[in-house]
Structure 1
């Protein structure tokens, strides 16, 4: 009986943690006609340039991000999260580029705010359950779907996705879910051969509050900063996202 009660309390605590993070995940812009704010636009560029390895472009985007009001720790979180989607080499290259930018700005007497300090999940958190709840939030579902596809074929990768990406990384705070999904969508759009993942994450971004006009704004930033080819491919995927969402209404 005591073990059952402890399990119920643990599940309730995890649900509460996810609800708190989801509440923070809602972007400041909520009206359908509003676009990305200046900080969100810079997240697009930072994530995309990290993904495609354009370090000169990334350094410019990092400076612009800081000037637009992104904190040092917010940018660090973007670069940390990028390793899960672009690999350690791109992430570490981005981090080194950021170190150079910070050194240059400090040399000019510019003091940038550090911002919120990342947190760790509370001791004893069931990371598998926490990560699954985060994934359900991103997926826009309230009931845990049965395992299928790669989850059955290679359960190890599913464990890493839940316990590491969606628990350890998403549970660090600093960035809300909407900001993390804006970064993920931008990185995937800057890569090739990632349309399947982009389809999911564009939908996930909208499930945590990114509006249709904000998504269009994201595509326009990609077009101007990264290139028309990447924006066109992402636009085609976005059209599929809208079709899928319309079918569910």
Structure 2
């Protein structure tokens, strides 16, 4: 009788432990973006839109959330690859003004790490090809690259080699920034769809993608959020 009772209690313990483990795993998988990642969303979005007043607010909020100065600089630098030099430069100029104002108030923000030198044992195009292949999940191919080989070289050499090869922010942060920027621009849904896929390849979760869209809706605009949700649903339906 005692042995039977012990076996029953053991079974109950195992069941409870299993349910707790599953619940914890589900909680982990359902976590959205953290405060720093949410800061990247709005910084990238308002830089892409050219809304410098709202960008100023987003930059302050990003710093308050724990983003370092160099992390924000890196996001603003990367933006030129997706929304052009003018808006990237305007974003950097706005950030300089924010830093001056915060310094005048006695706020000391963490500078953060500088990017490490690029590897010397391979060319930038070799490095970029490796990074691009890793993020896409296969070697890049398509008629556009055959039609215009120069754009293929620029993407591999410069975007993925020079920019994505810098290590002071990780690939997830870069994709959060890219998705947020593209979601805030019109006429780039094919690229947005591609970067949602790349985002999943960096192990961003569906919950984090939905969190990103929620930030867009709350801080940027319902139109941008609705469009991003439609594009994400296409990606999810094909996974």
TM-score by length of structure 1 reads 0.83
Deviations 1:137-184 (A, max 9, x none): 21123xx35x32111011101111111010111111111000000000
Matched, 1:237 2:231: yes
Matched, 1:172 2:192: no
Superposition pairs of residues 1-249 of structure 1, within 5 angstroms:
31-141=28-138, 144=139, 147-245=141-239
Q: How many residue pairs were aligned?
A: 213
1:39 & 1:62 partners in 2: Cα distance? 11
Structure 2 segments unaligned to the other structure (5+ residues): 1-26
Contact 1:72 1:113 in 2 (8 A): yes
1:120 & 1:158 partners in 2: Cα distance? 24
Contact 2:118 2:165 in 1 (8 A): yes
Runs of 4+ in structure 1 over 4 Å off: none
Contact 2:131 2:165 in 1 (8 A): no
Q: Which has the larger radius of gyration?
A: 2
| Larger relative contact order, structure 1 or 2 (CA cutoff 8 Å, min sep 6) | 1
Structure 1 segments unaligned to the other structure (5+ residues): 1-29
Contact 1:119 1:171 in 2 (8 A): no
RMSD: 1.2
Map of 1:17 onto structure 2: none
Contact 2:128 2:160 in 1 (8 A): yes
